[in-house]
Structure 1
């Protein structure tokens, strides 16, 4: 397939929406929309009590308050994902990690979006708060592994990055979370 043309339809702080004209192998041209998204990070933070630090925040796109792990957008191409992970952790929880371990990385919705997410495990937490983003109103909630599994099984955690992050962290840690 070959891209013949592209048109910027919308631009905002973290993504652009494009409409592309694609030439198929048979010669037919089609139009497809795509979202060009900045890279993102997600952080599974474990405190000294071996609890996951979850956050609850309202998400306008789904009109619900969700259980999530700390996450956010890489500010610039110069900001390394690990630096972004520490910043987001500090902004959303008031902690930084003494030990930050990469767990996984990949595309979230490659059918129409190029958002690439880096997952990290944060351990050996120490207080170092940063001011939250002006649009963030976050409630912190440390939960045990049992509580986290209960939230997953009952459908209380409906954010895919959070579910995947918890599963990745649990598999990474020898004795589990």
Structure 2
């Protein structure tokens, strides 16, 4: 297999979510080129599926595209020492006031590998219950306006295939859930397998 040797690695900008870096890479044949990309902290997303086979979707404003998008409850891996499934459970509770008794690993996705190393781990959460009112997270900024919608799985598939859901994690999560259901959930992996 061809190797691409990284000759230098320079950080250009850093914030709490990502850094922008430039790698000097030796291409096959010897030419050396610069490649810029984002180094991302990583993320988790949750397909919360209730007993009526409805998925919890949110409407959230995204400044980069200047639109309110259909998405799964999701968030950053930004708590030191927290397991990925615990991060997913935290995000589910914080964003939509839900908890789940059953967790499976649904998919692992590099969201935009042409410009970022971001990887999102998608979990299927079942046996859903509400977080008690007194234990609910106070949402701020864009999250303060999150709208929870319960959407039938078949309808969510239609939304994903028609372009109504454009968030990559949302599309993949919805379609992976439909495929997993069609396979009687036998392709799911233990939540602890997420890396």
**TM-score surpassing 0.5?**
yes
Q: How many angstroms does 1:28 deviate by?
A: 2.1
Which position in structure 2 is the counterpart of 1:130? 137
Give the 4+ runs in structure 1 shifted more than 3 A: 174-177
Pairs aligned (count) = 177
Given the superposition, is the C-alpha separation of residues 176 and 148 from structure 1 closer, same or farther in structure 2, using an over 3 Å criterion? farther
Residue 150 of structure 2 is matched in structure 1 by: 142
- Secondary structure, aligned partner of 1:173: helix
Contact 1:170–1:176 (CA<8 Å) still a contact in 2?
A: no
Q: Does 1:3 align with 2:11?
A: no
The answer to whether the 8 A contact 2:157-2:178 is kept is no
Cα deviation, 1:52-108, whole Å, max 9, x if unaligned, reads 110001111001110111111111452211001000100111001111111121322
Question: Which residue, out of 78, 81, 86, partners 2:89?
Answer: 86
What does 1:11-160 correspond to in 2, within 5 Å? 11-128=14-131, 129-136=136-143, 137-160=145-168
Q: 1:165 matched to which residue of 2?
A: 173
Please tell me whether the aligned partners of residues 69 and 166 of structure 2 are also in contact (alpha carbons under 8 angstroms): yes
Worse-matched range after superposition: 55-64 or 126-135: 126-135
For residues 150 and 167 of structure 1, the distance between their equivalents in structure 2, rounded to whole angstroms, comes to 10
Higher share in helix: 2
Provide the secondary structure at the position in 2 that maps to 1:170: helix
Greater alpha carbon shift after TM alignment, 22-31 vs 4-13: 22-31
Unaligned runs of 5+ in 2: 186-195
State the alpha-carbon separation in 1 of the partners of residues 18 and 12 from structure 2: 11
> d(CA) in 2 for partners of 1:24 and 1:119?
33
The two structures, once aligned, show a CA RMSD in angstroms of 2.0
The TM-score normalised by the length of structure 1 is: 0.91
Per-residue displacement from partner, 1:86-143 (whole Å, max 9, x unpaired)? 0010011100111111112132222231111111001111222333354412001111
